[in-house]
Chain A
Amino acid sequence: MSDLLVELSRFQFAFTALIHFIFVPLTIGMSFLLVIMETTYVITGNKIYREMTQFWGKLFGINFAMGVATGLTMEFQFGTNWAYYSHYVGDIFGVPLAIEGMMAFFLESTFVGLFFVGWKRLSKYQHLLVTFLVAIGSNMSALWILIANGWMQNPVGAAFNPDTMRMELSSFSDLIFNPVAQAKFVHTVSAGYTVGSVFVLAISAWYLLRGKHIEFAKRSFAIAAGFGLAAISSAIILGDESGYTVGDVQKAKMAAIEAEWETAPAPASFTLFGLPNQEKMETDYAIRIPWLLGLIATRSVDEQVKGLKDIIADNEVRIQRGIKAWSALQQLRNNKQDKAASQQLKRYQDDLGYGLLLHSYTKHIDQATPEQIHQAAVHSVPRVAPLFFTFRLMVICGMVLLVLFIAASWGVYRNNFMRNRLLLRAAIFALPLPWIAAELGWFVAEYGRQPWTISGILPTSLSTSSLSAASVGTSLGAFVVFYAALTCVEMYLMIKYARKGPDALHAH
């Protein structure tokens, strides 16, 4: 595989996935906000809540269309650009995707049309049910996608089959109850609820500042403030760091996020800030808080947090074992009856992936030099600085939002938020923050898994299709042009309809 092809394929995936995730969290969050608004309408009978459901629903629809369009790319892209990956792990990875389609995406997509056109054709209870099913569908969708992604981070319940040259599913319950997947799901949907809440909060604040649609905006603001406070609290407290304690690659990711070069005696101190230096493997100008990392990472005072240098040393041993697995596999291919090779493979197969890391350094893995093995080990952990900074930026965004939602909720509780111009302005300026945090979060999760697509099993450099770099370069250019144009259109319509406000409902 040429390096350029791998880099272009990665860049295309990152670009299309990050753009997709502009729209997805808003769908996830808004759908439940719509359920809350419509439930209030059904219970109180107050028409303004129906109007709210319809108006915010209109903005939801503009966003939803882009979520569907960009989501298609994700469904295609594993096959088009990551063909070896798809062959190698499709037996496991494809299962949650197929179930997602049957259980969640069908539900969401079938009822979303009825949400828009069903107001006159359905009783109010039926319509509420439809809205609820759209919300359930979009959230279940997130669950199955994150089970698939969680498996990439911590591949449990699977084993290598030398007959088919791929990984195969051995335990479905391990797959769905993967602790990493569970942590990711809670954290990701909480982030989605936060995005939805900030969206409603900011636009409502904008109306209030201009003295427009007061009754409408007041109620919207109040609902968003309450829901948002719960959402951001959950996103912070149930941050998916809890998922970093299982799986060796997850541990390496955390060590990189925390710039933890050495294994410190427990409980480790937390590096608040500093300048990570990859060459010297140390952090310059580090500001450390004693004990904190140990507490966060291990939830204990006596467990150690393993540092990157020790992880690299461990991985060097695993690469050597991986060479044995790889050699056994070659012998087995020539002679299926080779019992000794079969036993050797069985003994070392957990490290086969580490052997494959050498592919970037030599075509003959069993003849790798100690220097090549050392190089592969050094590069078996992600680069520290990008993770160190993006993670901290994400946390800062989260903290700012927490303060905003506490202030907003307090204002709602005291019933004085309409006159608090500072709060309303802050709500408007906070609009991009939850998106920035969500995108940074995905960067940390995916970049932090490098050099793997499937942690410890399949290196990224081996996962691509056998395409020419020119083909992928061309398609990447086309994606950039299409996505930029469509996103501009989406934002234009969103701003246009947000400006019009709820009056637009009557002047159809």
Chain B
Amino acid sequence: MFDYETLKLIWWLLLGVLFIGFGVTGGFDLGVGAMLRIIGRTDDDRKVMINCIGPTWDGNQVWLILGAGAVFAAWPLIYASAFSILYPAMLAALFALFFRPTGFEYRAKIADTRWRAFWDWGLVIGGAVPTLVFGVAFGLVLEGIPFHYDADMRIIMDGSVMDALTPFALFAGVVSLVMVSMHGSAFLNVKARGSVQEQARRWLRILAILLVALFALGGVWVATNLQGYVLHSTGDFNHALTPLNQHVTRVAGAWINNFHNMPWMWFAPALGLLGAVLTALLRTMPMLALISSGLSVSGVILTAGFAAFPFMLPSSSLPDQSLTIWNASASEHSLGLMLIAACIFIPLILMYTSWVYRVLRGPVRVEEVNKGEYGTY
């Protein structure tokens, strides 16, 4: 059907689809969680916020799980390397995520202020910490992580993970948190009524403007200062490759090369910026603002992916062993099989997910929540 080289490229794009799927749907859930104590001033507010996402967050989070599963299957070496090298960060995200299914399900089960305050903070942690970690991970993908492989392809860490927590990685974490909080506010602006909607709208403008500023600053940082990676030689992309036989150099500002070579790629950062600007401007038209916000999230994720292409996990200690889409993929057979599965199931997922959202359409008001009419969250 496709040759191996094309399959690798398709799976890189599909991974982008999964990340964007998570950013755009799971993103507003995380954002609502992160903003729970900021937008939600009272218990009623917070109840409204939780009921806005309560019935659908679980499905949205599967984009993340599927993303991890797809990395495992399509890019085994990246899954193995990234998850083990970033061990403390990955576990911090994991432990924070424990608070989400339990928080959403258990918070309403006991009417006690301390009980609810506990789960409120749990949901804040469950929203903010994974968002920060995923942002830091994206930052590290651009910056590189200290690791290399021995002849058996065993991953060896060069230095501790704390060395990897560079200013740029932390900066990327903050961008991620601002972006996701903006998106969460945009969702509340559509779904909630009353004081939650008012607060969400106010924060929406602040966060969108902040995102524009930070994203632009990040662009300047990457273009002028940050060490990018350049792939010089490797084997035939159409064959099974390992990171053991290639030549890579580090050059400041090299992450901009792709945009110079393929100017159409500029649409991604443009989308990131323009989407955020429109989000701020269109905030009184909630649905349009939410779409703009979603486009902005997609643009930001794409920008990082385009900049790094074809790198997926550069090694800062031994750049020659950096992982790229050409040398870290699964076999041709597995990629082909999973592509067939993805072509069948992803359209189905989109269909039934939109049906569920259609059934649950309509605003969430505090009176209905308190009557228990909307749900159980």
CB distance from A315 to the nearest CB of B (A): 22
User: With contacts A98-B74, A113-B55 known, is A80 near B91, CB below 8 A?
Assistant: yes
Task: List A contacts of B376 (CB < 8 A).
Answer: 58, 61, 116-117, 508
Find out whether the CB atom of A497 lies under 8 angstroms from the CB atom of B331: no
A168 and B80 within 8 A (CB): no
Interface status of A114 (Cβ within 8 A of chain B):
yes
Closest residue to B147 on the A side, CB-wise? A466
Pair A109/B58 contact, Cβ less than 8 Å? yes
Interface-lining segment among A99-107, A228-236, A337-345: A99-107
Chain B residues within an 8 Å CB radius of A94: 69, 72-74, 76, 79, 330, 334
Known: A95-B334, A465-B84, A497-B109. Contact between A111 and B73, CB under 8 A? no
- Of chain A, the residue at the smallest CB distance from B79 is A79
Is A18's CB within 8 Å of the partner chain B? no
Stretch of A42-50, A69-77, A260-268, A416-424 contacting B (4+ beta carbons < 8 Å): A69-77
Instruction: Specify which chain A residues have a CB less than 8 angstroms from the CB of B81 in the assembled complex.
Output: 83, 87
Please name the residue on chain A nearest to B244 by beta carbon: A165
Cβ of A367 < 8 Å from any Cβ of B?
no
CA distance A8 to B7 in the complex (A): 38
Interface: A397 (CB within 8 A): no
Count of chain A residues with a beta carbon within 8 Å of a chain B beta carbon? 74
* Bound-state Cα–Cα, A107 to B59, Å: 8
- Identify which of B242, B330, B342, B356 contacts A102 (C-beta below 8 A): B342
**Chain B residues, Cβ within 8 Å of A490:** 102
| Interfacial chain A residues near B104, Cβ < 8 Å | 65
Of B137-145, B189-197, B207-215, B344-352, the one with at least 4 CB within 8 A of chain A: B344-352
A196 to B84, CA, bound (A): 36
Within 8 A of B (CB), among A101-137: 101-103, 105-107, 109-114, 116-118, 120-122
A66 within 8 Å of B (CB atoms) = yes
Contact B54 A117 (CB under 8 A): yes
Q: How far is the CB of A488 from chain B (nearest CB, A)?
A: 12
Identity of the chain A residue whose Cβ is nearest the Cβ of B59 in the assembled complex = A110
Known contacts A62-B105, A80-B91; A163/B242 CB under 8 A:
yes
CB of A277 within 8 A of chain B?
no
Residues from chain A with a CB closer than 8 A to the CB of B72 are: 78-79, 86, 90, 93-94, 97-98
**CA A497 to CA B58, docked complex, whole Å:** 22
Residue of A with least CB distance to B119:
A489
- Interchain nearest-CB distance for A179 vs B (Å): 21
Say yes or no: B375 contacts A165, CB within 8 Å: no
* A150-186 interface code vs B (CB 8 A; 1 in, 0 out): 0000000000010111101110100000000000000
Find out whether the CB atom of B360 lies under 8 angstroms from the CB atom of A117.
yes
- A73-B360 Cα distance, complex, nearest whole Å: 30
In the assembled complex, A92 has its CB within 8 A of some CB on chain B: yes
Quick check: A62 and B106 within 8 Å, CB to CB?
A: yes
A118 to B349, CA, bound (A): 19
- B286 → chain A closest CB, angstroms: 21
Contact (Cβ within 8 A) B156 A466: yes
Contact of A69 among B76, B84, B98 (CB under 8 A): B98
Say yes or no: A105 contacts B62, CB within 8 Å.
yes
Bound complex: CA A377 to CA B104 (Å): 51
What residues of chain B lie closer than 8 Å to A105, measured between beta carbons? Answer: 62, 65-66
Which residues on A sit within 8 Å (CB–CB) of B185? none
Main SS class of interface, B: helix
Residues of B within 8 A of A471 (CB): 87-88
A194 in contact (CB, < 8 A): no
Does any Cβ of B come within 8 Å of A361's Cβ?
no
**Judging by beta carbons under 8 Å apart, are A475 and B91 in contact?**
yes
**A347 — which chain B residues lie within 8 A by C-beta?**
none
A118 and B70: CB pair below 8 A? no
A272 within 8 A of B: no
Q: Would you call B114 an interface residue if the criterion is a C-beta within 8 Å of the partner chain's C-beta atoms?
A: no
Which of chain A's residues has its CB closest to B66's CB?
A: A101
Q: Which of A73, A101, A467 lies in contact with B69, CB distance below 8 A?
A: A101
Instruction: Say yes or no for A410: interface residue by CB 8 A criterion.
Output: no
Partner pick for A90 among B73, B84, B242, B352, CB 8 A cutoff: B73
Among A61, A83, A97, A478, the residue within 8 A (CB) of B155 is: A83
Chain B residues numbered 81-107 whose CB sits less than 8 Å from any CB in chain A: 81-84, 87-88, 90-91, 94-95, 97-98, 100-102, 104-106
C-alpha gap A425/B104 in the complex (Å)? 35
Once the chains are docked, how many angstroms separate the CA of A166 from the CA of B374?
Answer: 51
- The reply to whether B87 and A80 contact each other, CB–CB distance below 8 Å, is yes
Q: Which of A78, A80, A100, A165 has the most CB of B within 10 A?
A: A80
In the bound complex, do residue B105 and residue A84 qualify as a contact, i.e. CB atoms below 8 Å apart? no
Whether the Cβ atoms of B65 and A91 lie closer than 8 Å is: no
Task: State whether A87 touches B77 (Cβ < 8 A).
Answer: yes
Contact B349 A72 (CB under 8 A): no
A11 within 8 A of B: no
Query: Nearest A residue to B126 by beta-carbon distance?
Result: A69
Interfacial chain B residues near A172, Cβ < 8 Å: 333, 337
Of residues 33 to 64 in B, which have CB atoms within 8 Å of A's CB atoms? 54-59, 61-62
Contact of B338 with A by CB under 8 A:
yes
Q: Give the docked Cα–Cα distance between A84 and B349 (Å).
A: 32
Q: Are B333 and A169 in contact (CB under 8 A)?
A: yes
List chain B residues, Cβ under 8 A from A81.
84
Q: How far is the CA of A365 from the CA of B257 in the complex (A)?
A: 47
Q: Mark A288-316, 1 if CB is under 8 A from B, else 0.
A: 00000000000000000000000000000
A164:B242 contact, CB within 8 angstroms: yes
CB within 8 Å of A: which B300-359 residues:
330-331, 333-334, 337-338, 341-342, 345-346, 349, 352-353, 356, 359
B94 surroundings in chain A (CB, below 8 A): 72-73, 76
Question: For the complex, is A317 an interface residue (Cβ under 8 Å from B)?
Answer: no
Least distance between B80 CB and chain A CB atoms (Å): 4
On chain B, the residues within 8 Å of A475 by CB distance are 87, 91
A95 CA to B90 CA in the complex, in Å?
A: 22
Q: Which of chain A's residues have a CB closer than 8 A to the CB of B263?
A: none
Which among B76, B101, B373 is the interface contact of A65 at CB below 8 angstroms? B101
With known contacts A86-B76, A95-B338, A102–B349 Cβ distance under 8 A = yes
B187 to chain A, nearest CB (A): 15
Cβ 8 A contact of A97, one of B55, B69, B84, B100: B69
Given contacts A72-B94, A80-B90, A102-B341, contact A97 B73 (CB under 8 A): yes
Q: Measured between alpha carbons, how far is A90 from B75 in the docked complex, in Å?
A: 8
Counting chain B CB atoms within 10 Å of each CB, the highest count among A68, A166, A493 belongs to A68
Known: A62-B105, A466-B154. A106 touches B66 (CB 8 A): yes
Query: Would A76 and B106 count as touching, CB distance under 8 A?
Result: no
* Residue A482 CB within 8 A of the other chain: yes
Q: Point out the residues of chain A lying under 8 angstroms from B154, CB to CB.
A: 84, 466
Known contacts A97-B72, A117-B375, A168-B334; is A72 also within 8 Å of B98 by CB? yes
* Pairwise interchain contact A482-B95, C-beta atoms closer than 8 A: yes
Minimum CB–CB distance from B126 to chain A (whole Å) comes to 10
Are B153 and A166 touching (Cβ within 8 A)? yes
B68 at the binding interface (Cβ < 8 Å): yes
Please state if B152 and A75 are interface contacts (CB–CB under 8 Å): no
Q: Residues of B with Cβ closer than 8 Å to A?
A: 54-59, 61-62, 65-66, 68-70, 72-74, 76-77, 79-84, 87-88, 90-91, 94-95, 97-98, 100-102, 104-106, 109-110, 151-157, 239-242, 330-331, 333-334, 337-338, 341-342, 345-346, 349, 352-353, 356, 359-360, 372-376
What 11 additional pairs, Cβ within 8 angstroms, besides A94-B76, A105-B65?
A61-B376, A72-B98, A75-B68, A91-B330, A99-B341, A103-B341, A106-B59, A117-B376, A121-B359, A168-B334, A169-B334
7 A-B pairs with CB atoms under 8 Å apart are A83-B80, A83-B155, A87-B80, A94-B334, A103-B341, A117-B376, A164-B241
Task: In the A-B complex, list the 6 residue pairs whose CB atoms are closest, starting with the nearest.
Answer: A90-B76, A79-B83, A94-B73, A113-B55, A110-B59, A117-B375
